A and B are shown apart, each in its own frame.
Chain A
Amino acid sequence: MPFVHELLNYRSVAVVGMEKNCGKTECLNYIIRRLPLHDRKVCVTSIGLDGERTDQVTRTPKPEIVLREGMFFSTSETHYRARRMVSEIVDISDETTALGRLITAKVVSEGKVILSGPSSTASLRRWMSGIAGFGIDLTIIDGALSRKSSASPAVSDAMVLATGAALSSSLPTLIDLTAFCVTMIRLPLAETPGNAAHTVTVSSMASDIGIGNDVERVEVTGALTDRLLSRLMQEGGVDRYEVVVEDFTRIFVTPGQYRSFVRAGGRLGVRRRTVLLAVCANPLAPNGYRMDSELLCARLSDKLQIPVYDIKRHEA
């Protein structure tokens, strides 16, 4: 499987699902099973709570996270006590989550654990710098339910996206939604220089936005929402400047709104990019609906121009 080896080129990789039950945990387990561990230290953590045996929302069975000997992981006190593996505690962080302090441990003998890492990107970053002393080469971050923020370039250098039938049972819709997400991930870095003279800063909170005729770059602080985008378009002249956001995790725009922005000549750029390594697709929806795996992967791959894998099929 080619993309697992690509992970080794990065310091931190986030595994993020488009939606619940898209097969993100399976994707993570798949990566963990295949990562070569002999000459590097790998640490696995999650943002927020993950690794439950049944899905907390839909009550469907979920695969557990199986960690291999020699891997590091971090989880909360509560879940550390409930682990089913032999592991050695190497660090206890001062930072507490709702489930107690964060325990970092090394797996002595393979087993299962519920991962529940730092609950915000800021504390995740603090934790990552805290464990730097253990010589971790690669950190894999398990992004929880709709927490695309863990894939923010502020914390991870690269990402793997999991999508699947859980998102929509209509193949064209699934492809559209996934393609839009991938477009956002691949947005180019801002072209215009960030010099103050021709730059205007706007936020979706502000009641008034005034953009002069000489403006070349519109910086968005915080989130880029549909509302902000439509207000920019109402002002007119979106083709004159470039709209710049921090990174793709700050974009909360619907595909339709984005398309009309582009049609009006608008350009969107990011200050920081992340690398999309691969897309994993799960043809099985929690309600039992199953898509044709081969067709799903082929159509997605065609549209996204990136390798798409159905992990279950690859394993079989």
Chain B
Amino acid sequence: MKLRDIIDSPCGLRYMIETLPVASGYSLRYLMDSTACSAEEEVMESYAALHSFLPAASDGNLVAMLHSELCTLKNISSTLDRLESACTVDDIELFEVKHLIMLGRRVSALLSASGWPALSPDVSFTDSPLSVLDPDGTGIASFYIYDSYSAELAGLRLRLGRETDPDARESLMREEQQEESRIRAGICEDLRPSVPALRKLMESLAVLDITFAKAVQVRTMNLCIPVLTSGKTVYKGMYHPYIKSILEKSDKEFTPIDIDFGDEPVVIIGANMGGKTVVLKMAALCQYLFSFGMGIPAESAEIVLKKRVFFISGDAQDMGAGLSSFAAEMTAIDQVVRASETEGTDIVAMIDEPARSTNPIEGTALVEALLRLMEGRSAAMLLTTHYNISSACCRRLRVAGVENGKMNYRLCPAPDGAVPHEALNVAESLNISPEWIGEAKKLLKHE
């Protein structure tokens, strides 16, 4: 599962990646091409790195300076490949190699000077390739075939400078360029042994950029570092950063949610507009963020690592495939069912109102059957519904609902009892035509 493939998941992952202050375009592409952690050790390692960057990320000065350095980081892997395969590269490419080496050294020096030498990339090998590209030891990032590479080159250039006859200049220029090519081939030869270390340096600078950005995001968005667990996933004070930011713009507050789930399916019921879908979005978002080692939008989080995350929001009508909303949804849920057969405990599925677009009798049967199947296979599942599902095969949670005229979005246990019948009240509060709602009320009374 590459980040690139899931970034447009409707849970709001793109917002989290877009607000990640990564400095270079190469780092961002590197992140997009990275795959989700599938082993617990990877997650631990990833969060250990993030943890070690947190103190440095509070140093605003360092953050700004590092950002301005790292934004010049470029992907020069094609140049490195060519160097490795004994090709001679031109001045422009040699300049980029030199730039990479000097960038690595500057970043390393910057981190050391700010008191974080442990975070620095390994630049111990760079003395030798740098001396090849900076023969005069000027420490300047520019590059050309310097006079000091050969006495012959220096001599040719001297003559070129004095020559006034255009034809003679032309032939001297040719000689000079031949000598340059000879030297360039030698430079490439000398650089070849350092190529693997240079490639590693380039990647470690990208990783540094990404990890630093994650740490800065933890600080600015007030995210938490989760604890890896193997039992139950527990979120305290979970929020959705995108929805929260929108609410805050209009001076409204986001109600943080507490939720936990293990291998037993959890069903969330509650009034319309009670934020059931948002709970699913948050849970899916956190699960994705966790598998990419990012900060979690919650007060605290204990998370079980899952190899596969499914987030199915019901309105997935696929016009391209010619599927109706029901068909598209069923096909998507079918993937979960099939995956649960073999992977069971390795998957987590968040499904928003499954079978909502069919009649309530068959719909209820489909949902209840799905829950029974999942329970048997110990697959983690969060599901929202308006159907009345018995709590025999799942744990039921209910949105507290309208209290004293205000919506309480918190979740509370609802082991039994009917699903709330608040649709008409909610519709009334939306100022929907009273004629219509009144008629509906009359019909209900008749039943």
Contact = CB atoms under 8 A, between A and B. Distances in A.
Interface stretch (B87-95, B109-117, B256-264): B87-95
Given A89-B92, A94-B74, 4 more contacts: A80-B92, A88-B144, A92-B92, A111-B173
A80 B144 CA distance: 12
Contact of A88 (B96, B99, B143, B173): B143
A80 B173 CA distance: 15
Contacts of B74: 94
A90 B142 contact: yes
B176 interface: yes
Interface stretch (A102-110, A168-176, A230-238): A102-110
Q: Which 5 interchain pairs have the tightest Cβ spacing?
A: A88-B144, A89-B95, A90-B142, A88-B142, A89-B143
B102 to A, nearest CB: 13
Contacts of B142: 88-90, 106
A290 interface: no
Interface in A58-77: 77
A99 interface: no
10 contacts: A80-B92, A86-B144, A87-B144, A89-B91, A89-B92, A89-B95, A90-B142, A92-B96, A105-B144, A108-B157
B144 A103 contact: no
A84 interface: yes
A86 to B, nearest CB: 6
Of the listed residues A77, A90, A106, the one surrounded by the most CB atoms of chain B closer than 10 A to its CB is A90
A86 B144 CA distance: 8
Contacts of A108: 144, 157
A105 B95 CA distance: 11
Nearest to B145: A86
A262 B90 CA distance: 58
Contact of B160 (A81, A103, A106, A109): A109
B161 interface: yes
A86 B146 CA distance: 9
B95 A109 contact: no
A86 B176 contact: yes
Contacts of A77: 92
Main SS of the interface on chain B? Answer: helix
Interface of B: 25, 74, 90-92, 95-96, 99, 141-145, 157, 160-161, 173, 176
Contacts of A106: 142
Nearest to A89: B95
B143 A109 contact: no
Contacts of B143: 88-89
A81 B180 CA distance: 13
Contacts of A94: 25, 74
A231 to B, nearest CB: 44
Interface of A: 77, 80-81, 84, 86-90, 92, 94, 103, 105-106, 108-111
A109 B92 contact: no
Nearest to B176: A86
Contacts of A90: 141-142
A88 B157 CA distance: 14
A92 B92 CA distance: 8
B92 A103 contact: yes
A92 B173 contact: no
Nearest to B24: A94
A109 B145 CA distance: 12
Nearest to A110: B161
A90 B176 CA distance: 21
Contacts of A105: 144
B391 to A, nearest CB: 58
A88 B133 CA distance: 12
A308 B367 CA distance: 88
Contacts of B157: 86, 108-109
Nearest to A69: B161
A91 to B, nearest CB: 8
A131 B90 CA distance: 23
Given A77-B92, A92-B96, A84 B144 contact: no
A110 B176 CA distance: 13
Of the listed residues B74, B90, B144, B145, the one surrounded by the most CB atoms of chain A closer than 10 A to its CB is B144
Contacts of B176: 86
A89 B145 CA distance: 10
A81 B92 contact: yes
A103 B90 CA distance: 13
Of the listed residues A89, A94, A105, A110, the one surrounded by the most CB atoms of chain B closer than 10 A to its CB is A89
Nearest to B95: A89
Of the listed residues B25, B91, B96, B176, the one surrounded by the most CB atoms of chain A closer than 10 A to its CB is B91
B69 to A, nearest CB: 13
A295 B158 CA distance: 45
A106 B143 CA distance: 10
Contacts of B96: 92
Of the listed residues A88, A103, A106, the one surrounded by the most CB atoms of chain B closer than 10 A to its CB is A88
Of the listed residues A77, A87, A103, A109, the one surrounded by the most CB atoms of chain B closer than 10 A to its CB is A109
Contacts of A84: 173
A65 B173 CA distance: 16
Given A77-B92, A103-B92, A89 B144 contact: yes
A241 B142 CA distance: 55
A243 to B, nearest CB: 41
A109 B91 CA distance: 16
Nearest to B177: A84
